[in-house]
Structure 1
Amino acid sequence: MNTLSSPCDLESVLATEELSRRSSPPLDPETESNALLILTRALASSPRDFFGTLVRSVLRLSGAGSTGISLLNEEEKRFVWPAVAGKLDSFLGSGTPSDFGPCGTVLERGKTLLFIHPEKHFTYLEPIHPPLEEVLLIPFYVGEKAVGTIWAVFHEAGQQFSAEHRRLLEAVSNFASSAYATLANTGALTPLLKMQPASS
């Protein structure tokens, strides 16, 4: 029978300070500008589908193996993933507990965090494949309230996030905030918060 390993201390899987120490070439300004223009148009024309457009754009721009959005469902005390791109796309509709997981830690601390093998602390993540080599998450807000995170994952050993990746995720966070507010105002947010994995 498979058993989960004993968890490591939370601080041992956090490495956010490493972002500023790592060198990374900046994104091509024209490529980034074009991507932001696409996001602007998508938000105006199709807010219901916007989160999917956003995570696919971040996937292309960042070179990550997977990207996604997590939304806080306060009633059910969980984060739900209504949009996932890349190697973890089969986890669409999945999520993590609001009080014990990477997303919850980000919202609790109110800042960007970099995790290295977060499953060593949050052991329920161990079955996820491909493995979570590095996970970069940033919170996004509606008004003063944190409502979710944008995240990116590297799956291969040796792949690393840098301050440039953090800047990219922070640059698109305002789009996520605007989309969330629009969906909430039109009643279209509730189905996203209630999403479940396809196999459930």
Structure 2
Amino acid sequence: MGVLDVLVATWTYFVTNWDAFVGLFTRHVELVFVSEAVAILIAVPFGILAARNDRVKRVVEPVGNVAQTIPTLAIIALMLPILGIGFLPSVVGLFIYALLPILTNTIAGIENVDENTVDAARGMGMTDWEILRKVQLPLALPVIFGGIRTSTVLNVGTAYLAYFISGGGLGVWAIGGIQLFDTPRILAGAFAGAALAIALDGALALVERRLGTDSGAGQSAAATA
């Protein structure tokens, strides 16, 4: 079977299984977005704490590094005896794997804010909380968002593994197709995931670029003040 034949067969598979595709694609998006939302809600505050407290940093960073070194499939498999199968254990497994890029970028973003800018804010009478809220976080936001962008795109690919604990998503086609030696089914699942990853990366890159522009203007204004 030639490349053109394979592509035609893949397109035919899409068309004839459109309703199933919509369901699988929607579930894949849900897996990515829910796990990312939880990761952001946990990693950003802990990253801020770690950047401002060395004792917290000595605990948080190793935990994040260990979570990242465990194979993704192993993390998802560990959820099986704890939470069973389905959507929830899949989200928990993906959330654990999504933590490190957000956590490390949050720490780096806060720590790399220019000390002169912080000292200027402190000299103007700002409290530590005000410095964090009005100076450090706005200037660190592009770096933090870069971690969110990386984590989100990686999670699109990782979410395929939810298939192994009945979490749904495009892994039902991509991985299920491998088990059935069904090339059109494999490619249909792979192409859809690739398109989702590219779309999310492009959209988040635009936001990141905008935040970088706003942050640069804000830093200049703060330095002037």
The TM-score with structure 1 as length reference comes to 0.29
The TM-score with structure 2 as length reference comes to 0.27
Q: Which structure would you say has the larger Rg?
A: 2
- Between structures 1 and 2, the one with greater helix share: 2
